[in-house]
Amino acid sequence: MSKNRVNSVDSADPAAPDLTLRGVQVFRGWLDAADQAALVEDLRNVAQAAPLFSPMTPYGKPMRVRMTSAGRKGWVSDRRGYRYADRHPGGGDWPPIPKRVLDIWHGITGLDRMPDCCLINYYDAGARMGLHQDRDEADFAWPVVSVSLGDDGLFRVGNLTRGGTTESLWLSSGDVVVMGGAARLIYHGIDRIRPGSSTLLPQGGRINLTLRVVD
């Protein structure tokens, strides 16, 4: 089962992360193999209700990941910009965030306030995500929680402004990352994945869940 730990900026007795990189907290192996497999099944149900789509950046370039969302809000991108939307681009409602996902959020942050959005990114063998900030939310006091499933991803962390030196580490299936406090708006991205490093997804690739309080 998942590790029974609590970590929160509001917690009186937070658990220590396995490592901290520029203020970003990394919890190795938060989800065991059985939890990971069960979570993937939950996400398949989400993708049936709200199919993966390939978003366009405001600059007219297609993103290299496919994505969908669950929750009250979903994250979208097109010529009109990056934003949250009430409905899937295909017109349907976003499905609810699976309970297992909410359990991860509560277990690792200790917060009673649940996320409004679970953004689901799928990386195939050639996908990547450039350095960016998560800043489309109304209140940056809430942390962002990121869950890795499937093939390893090379996670790069920069600074609070563009430019400067960066540091990287490999995230493996079951790892959870928390960006909160001073690191809430840090630049971060995925440079590449390591194909074949996990057997969790039959077709390979990496799934990343990003949990956010939107309002």
Q: Which domain holds residue 118?
A: 19-212
74 within a domain of the structure (yes/no)? yes
103 within a domain of the structure (yes/no)? yes
Sequence-ordered strand ranges (E) for the chain: 19-21, 24-27, 66-71, 74-78, 81-85, 117-123, 129-132, 144-150, 152-157, 167-171, 176-179, 188-194, 206-212
pTM: 0.92
Among 31, 37, 80, smallest CA distance to 56 is for: 80
164 within a domain of the structure (yes/no)? yes
| Mean pLDDT of the residues in the chain | 93
169 within a domain of the structure (yes/no)? yes
- pLDDT above 90: percentage of residues in the chain: 90
Task: Give the DSSP per-residue string, 142-167.
Answer: S-EEEEEEESEEEEEE--SSSSS--E
Domain count, the chain: 1
Residue 16: pLDDT band by 50, 70, 90 thresholds? confident
Mean pLDDT, rounded, for 82-90: 96
* CATH label of the domain that carries residue 127: 2.60.120.590
12 within a domain of the structure (yes/no)? no
Amino acid, single-letter form, for residue 170 = W
Q: Which residue has the higher pLDDT, 9 or 152?
A: 152
Chain segment 117-170, per-residue pLDDT in tens: 999 999 999 999 999 999 999 999 999 999 999 999 999 999 999 999 999 999
133 within a domain of the structure (yes/no)? yes
2 within a domain of the structure (yes/no)? no
The end-to-end CA distance of the chain, in Å, is 31
11 within a domain of the structure (yes/no)? no
Q: Which residues pair with 144 in a beta bridge?
A: 179
